Amino acid sequence: MISYQFLDAINYAFELHCNQFRKDTDVPYIAHLLSVASIVLEDGGDEELAIAALLHDAVEDQGGLKTLEEIKIRYGERVAEIVIGCTDTLTTPKPAWRDRKETYLRHLKTASPDVVLVSLADKIHNARSILMDLQQHGSVTWKRFNGGRDGTLWYYKELVDIFLLRASPVLANELSRLYGEIKLFQ
């Protein structure tokens, strides 16, 4: 069941991210958050998982621990734990890209199934977006990523390996398929 709490979370996510766009695009960030929540729901996730999906970037991008506390008050401990589990850093300035990603990959190997599902849904939507951008704009797309082509491909390969062991086979295979298509682009 989806209740008005989910609608409240959509509104809250919109408030937090209303002035944010996907990296170097005109796509409103809320589109990503709604897509991640949709993937979670389509995989059978419950309302709390879908709310966490809507808010998975809120702590990292929009207010840190203060935002985490607000999420805990509004949506409960489980949602807050999933959101913090999907956050790759609370440090400002952020640590080096590769260090952050290596730390996050180690974390995913032992993260809760809830965190794994929301993280996988996030990575699937990101991979879909990368593939679409590569198809539309070609190799210039790689310039918008801190890891460039090689770093991004390394990261997604590591993610695929972890998710194939820890997550829903349907979703993990979807990410693996997307990774296979993405790596064909120079």
* Cα first-last separation, the chain: 44
Count: domains in the chain = 1
- 60 has catalytic annotation: yes
Q: Residue 174 in contact with residue 124, Cβ under 8 Å?
A: yes
Host domain of residue 100: 4-182
The CATH number of residue 121's host domain is 1.10.3210.10
- 133 has catalytic annotation: no
Q: Which of 43, 46, 61, 88 is catalytic?
A: 61
Q: What global pTM score does this model have?
A: 0.96
Cα separations (Å) of 150 from 60, 99, 155?
A: 24, 15, 9
**pLDDT for position 84:** 97
Q: Which of 47, 60, 133, 174 is catalytic?
A: 60
**Per-chain mean pLDDT for the chain:** 96
**pLDDT for position 186:** 83
User: If the chain, 186 residues long, is cut into consecutive pieces of 10 residues, what is the mean pLDDT of each piece?
Assistant: 96 94 86 98 98 96 93 98 95 92 98 98 98 95 95 98 97 98 94
Residues 6+ apart with CB under 8 A from 25: 133
